[in-house]
Amino acid sequence: MVKKKVVFLGSKPIGYECFSYLIQQQDKLNINIVGLLTQARKEFGGDHDLEALATANSIPVIADLEGLPECDVLYSVQYHQILKAHNIAKARQIAVNLHMAPLPEYRGSNQFSFAILEGKEEFGTTIHRMQPGVDNGDILFQKRFAIPAGCWVNELYELTYKASLNLFKQTLSHIIDGKYNPVAQELLVGKYGTSMHYRSEAADIKVIDLTWERGKIERHIRATSMPGFEPPYCVVNGQKVYFTIKNPFEK
């Protein structure tokens, strides 16, 4: 049987974990990974170097989107660029994306923060068919779960990370074999709503206005206190005053 050709696009720890699993499953799934396209993310350390993993497994590293080879399946996990129609067309069978948020509710970026700001009780992760634009395309698989009361943004990220990796593993063979039942996002907008958020919004939602009611202040702090990034803050006499979490065990 002829092996299906797969190209993987991805970055960040979740992209590394999915790529690693894809490599492990090559023989079982009868696939040949014919290329990797990634973005170096030094902030995640050498433990999540997709390019090094590809090189160690003799998988070609692609320089840019215009160098995408013809394939059967194109799989994207946290890839940073938006693919155009001619990029997506490189996949003869299907091009899919793992989006770490429920669709159609949260397209784009900062989905974890906005779910907390909006007081949502449910979140999720989605695998969808890629179409031109941002997080467009029919839903192929989705996992939803409850958001714990008082959840912080890093906690919601970790919950979504685990759900996303599990969903990737559980459905990978179905994607390769073409066993999925696409659901148009438009059919779910009436039930769940829809929104689009951009990376640039992250800076705005970190700014706390002390005249807000207490609940709103608390939500903004929980929604934007992500380790490794600038904390939320208020401005006093022209100076930033940061809100940080104190370790109760520190003296």
Q: What is the average pLDDT across 21-43?
A: 89
Instruction: Tell which residue, 83, 60, 216, has the closest CA to residue 137.
Output: 83
Q: Does 184 share its domain with 154?
A: yes
Confirm whether 251 is domain-assigned: no
Instruction: Tell which residue, 87, 93, 53, has the closest CA to residue 69.
Output: 87
Q: Does 89 share its domain with 55?
A: yes
Q: Does 127 share its domain with 15?
A: yes
Q: Does 90 share its domain with 54?
A: yes
Confirm whether 250 is domain-assigned: no
Confirm whether 247 is domain-assigned: no
The overall average pLDDT reported for the chain is: 93
Per residue in 41-71, pLDDT (tens digit) is 554 456 789 999 999 999 999 999 999 999 9
Q: Does 25 share its domain with 115?
A: yes
197, 215, 233: which is the final residue of a domain?
197
Q: Does 140 share its domain with 230?
A: no
Confirm whether 220 is domain-assigned: yes
Retrieve residue 218's tokens.
């608390």
* pLDDT surpasses 90 at 251: no
79: helix, coil or strand? coil
Residue 235 contacts residue 207 (beta carbons within 8 Å): yes
Per residue in 148-192, pLDDT (tens digit) is 999 999 999 999 999 999 999 999 999 999 999 999 999 999 999
* pLDDT surpasses 60 at 198: yes
* pLDDT surpasses 70 at 247: no
Strand partners, 38: 10
Which structural domain range is residue 26 located in?
4-197
Considering just the CA atoms, what is the radius of gyration of the chain in Å?
Answer: 20
Kindly indicate the confidence band of residue 249, based on its pLDDT and cuts at 50, 70 and 90.
very low
| Number of structural domains in the chain | 2
* pLDDT surpasses 80 at 109: yes
Q: Does 49 share its domain with 69?
A: yes
Confirm whether 166 is domain-assigned: yes
Confirm whether 214 is domain-assigned: yes
Residue 34: the pLDDT is 97
Confirm whether 248 is domain-assigned: no
Residue 41: the pLDDT is 52
Residue 225, Cα to own-chain centre: how many angstroms?
Answer: 18
Q: Does 140 share its domain with 219?
A: no
Question: For position 158, which CATH number holds?
Answer: 3.40.50.170
Residue 62: the pLDDT is 95
Q: Does 124 share its domain with 212?
A: no
Confirm whether 249 is domain-assigned: no
Q: What is the average pLDDT across 107-128?
A: 96
